[in-house]
Every structure is written in structure tokens, then in C-alpha cells.
């Protein structure tokens, strides 16, 4: 299985391609065609990767780019229509970015990997700083849900279905100060929201107009401080949230419409901003501060570290489809 890793670069490659074979990891290639690519998403065919430069000394140096997943070469790029692009999602022929520093959502059209700006939507309210952090498309119902950490809200947009333009439909307010970060859909109208500042996982239900909170649970063991929830992902009936600082995954079982805590998995890397859940039960974790990828495999009732490779500034992991990519890229 191949994976694409986004990295905080500091002069190092912004993208690194990694292969997992059994219990071994190896680097296949890397590129400096993009810097500080802190989030990645694939197009529907797995041919292109959309990413952007989240950190730059000058706003004009922030770009949104399309990268060929096989060659790791840049296909196209355009100026970021908002500072701090930190999350990407595909909606039909459009690519959407959540811009953390700008507190906005940007919409781009992708035509064969060629990107062009379409729309910018600003979240801000008077006296409140917005920090857009995540986008969850719902194409079936014509919605896009945008998570905003600064506003403690999930803002839902409705599309016109033709021009790629979006208009606000509703705002679902979360508890003040919880700092919602990332959200995933579990099933139907049930979603899970990871809250960075409150170290919470919330079970939400979409009622057709906004989200209702069904349940809220902590992601850290009692008494632990100096840690922040980051990524949230699900596999089967299990939901996991990474804790940066405690350096763990908080595990929850989803059953009977409720979440039940199942303890913590220690990841053996520092500041796990992202992770990937493998089909065979293994876990691949990105250690931002330890500068590595760690592979954990199931053993008995727990996990053991099978392999570790150095990937400086690793912050995002995207599994690539099981398909050929042609020649490997070279840094």
C-alpha cells in the first residue's frame, strides 16, 4: 500500500511518497514542488493530489497546487484565495479549501488538474476571529459543512449546482471554547466532531437544517494537560481521535447510536497530527515533532511498533488507490 505524506518542510520535501509492505516502510520518492503541504486530498480517480502552502513568510507565496500522484510533478498552481489553507475537499469538479488564518472558504474549479479560482466565502463576525479548519462535502443533499474553530460552529453551505457557487444555509453553534477542528460522517445523518481546544469528541445528528449534539466525551485520560485533539477517523464500528501532546489515539466504539470509550493507544511518535487506519488493523502515525512515520501492528489486545522511518515534519497521511503510478519520482 502506498501513502502520500504532507510535511512542514523547513527546506525539506513538502510531499513524500511511502510504501508499506507487510511490517516494513520505505520511501519511494519526494518533491519540493510544494512547501508546507499540511493537508492533502485526492481527486475522484486518484490521479491528482490537491494541496497548498499553509505557512509562508508572505501571503503572496501561499499557493494551491495540483500534483500528479504518480510523478509527484506539479500540474498547476494558483494563488491561494485566503491565508493558511489547512484542509481540502473535492465537490464535483470543484476543490474547496478551509483557510485557517483568513477564516474563509475558497472554491476552485479543476479542469484536468488545471486550477482556477471561483469564489471566496468569509466566516467572520464582528469582534470574533474566524478560523475555518475543515470541510465535509455532502453532494447527495447539495451541502458543504465547514468547521470553524474560532467561531465554535459548523457552518453549512448550499450549492447552486451549476456555477460552483455556495451560499450560507445555517450555522450550528457548538459549546463556547470547544474549538471544533475536524469532522467525519459515520453513517446517514450521524457525524463525529473532534474539538481541539476542549479535547472532546462529539456525536452529532443532522436534522435537515442544523446539527444537534447527541453526546460529548473527552479524548484524554483524567488529569492529562498540555495536549490537543487533532485528527478523527473511523474504521468499522470504531472511532479514533489523535491527541498531540499525550501522543495517543483515543478509541471509541460506536454502537446503538452512542459512543463508548475504549481506552488509548500510545503511538510512539511525538505530536501525531494525523494517522491512517489500515485495512488489516494496523495504524500509520505521523509524528510532526519527532519527524517520522511509525507503523503499529495489532498484537494480542494491543499494538507493537513494527517500523519507523524518518519523514521530517510529517503532518498528513493519505492512502493512495491500489493502482499503477508509472515511474517513481526522484527528489
Residues whose CB is less than 8 angstroms from the CB of residue 63 and which lie 6 or more positions away in sequence, other chains included: 34, 52, 53, 77, 78, 79, 80
For 266-279, write each residue's pLDDT tens digit.
Answer: 999 999 999 999 99
In a domain, 330, yes or no: no
In a domain, 325, yes or no: no
Phi, psi (degrees; rounded to nearest 5) at 240: -130, 145
Residue 219, domain extent? 2-319
In a domain, 35, yes or no: yes
The enclosing domain of 160 has a CATH number of 2.130.10.10
pLDDT of 232 strictly over 60 = yes
In a domain, 108, yes or no: yes
In a domain, 172, yes or no: yes
In a domain, 54, yes or no: yes
Percent of the chain at pLDDT above 90? 81
Query: Which three-class secondary structure state does DSSP give residue 82?
Result: coil
Band the pLDDT of 12: cuts 50, 70, 90: confident
In a domain, 326, yes or no: no
For 173-229, write each residue's pLDDT tens digit.
Answer: 999 999 999 999 999 999 999 999 999 999 999 999 999 999 999 999 999 999 999
Number of domains the chain contains: 1
In a domain, 191, yes or no: yes
Amino acid at each position: 500500500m502506498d501513502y502520500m505524506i504532507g510535511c512542514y518542510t523547513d527546506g525539506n520535501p513538502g510531499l513524500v511518497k511511502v510504501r508499506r509492505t507487510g511490517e516494513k516502510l520505505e520511501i519511494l520518492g519526494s518533491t519540493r514542488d510544494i512547501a508546507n503541504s499540511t493537508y492533502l486530498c485526492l481527486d475522484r480517480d486518484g490521479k491528482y493530489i490537491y494541496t497548498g502552502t499553509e505557512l509562508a513568510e508572505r501571503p503572496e507565496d501561499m499557493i494551491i497546487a495540483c500534483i500528479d500522484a504518480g510523478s509527484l510533478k506539479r500540474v498547476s498552481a494558483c494563488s491561494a484565495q485566503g491565508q493558511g489553507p489547512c484542509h481540502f475537499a473535492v465537490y464535483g469538479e470543484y476543490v474547496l479549501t478551509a483557510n485557517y488564518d483568513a477564516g474563509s472558504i475558497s472554491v476552485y474549479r479543476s479542469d484536468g488538474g488545471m486550477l482556477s479560482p471561483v469564489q471566496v466565502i468569509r466566516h467572520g463576525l464582528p469582534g470574533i476571529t474566524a478560523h475555518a479548519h475543515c470541510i465535509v462535502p455532502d453532494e447527495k443533499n447539495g451541502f458543504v459543512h465547514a468547521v470553524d474553530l474560532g467561531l465554535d460552529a459548523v457552518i453549512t453551505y448550499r450549492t447552486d449546482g451549476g456555477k460552483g457557487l455556495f451560499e450560507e444555509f445555517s450555522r450550528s453553534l457548538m459549546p463556547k471554547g470547544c474549538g471544533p477542528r475536524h469532522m467525519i460522517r459515520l453513517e446517514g445523518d450521524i457525524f463525529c466532531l473532534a474539538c481541539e481546544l476542549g479535547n472532546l469528541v462529539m456525536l452529532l445528528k443532522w436534522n435537515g437544517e442544523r446539527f444537534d449534539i447527541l453526546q460529548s466525551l473527552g479524548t484524554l485520560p483524567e488529569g492529562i494537560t498540555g495536549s490537543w485533539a487533532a485528527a478523527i477517523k473511523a474504521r468499522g464500528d470504531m472511532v479514533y481521535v489523535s491527541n498531540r501532546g499525550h501522543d495517543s489515539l483515543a478509541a471509541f466504539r460506536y454502537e446503538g447510536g452512542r459512543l463508548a470509550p475504549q481506552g488509548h493507544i500510545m503511538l510512539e511518535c511525538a505530536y501525531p497530527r494525523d494517522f491512517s487506519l489500515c485495512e488489516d488493523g494496523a495504524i500509520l502515525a505521523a509524528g510532526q515533532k519527532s519527524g517520522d512515520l511509525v507503523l503499529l501492528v495489532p498484537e494480542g489486545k494491543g499494538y507493537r511498533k513494527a517500523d519507523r522511518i524518518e519523514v521530517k515534519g510529517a503532518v498528513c497521511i493519505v492512502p493512495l488507490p491500489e493502482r499503477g503510478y508509472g515511474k517513481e519520482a526522484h527528489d
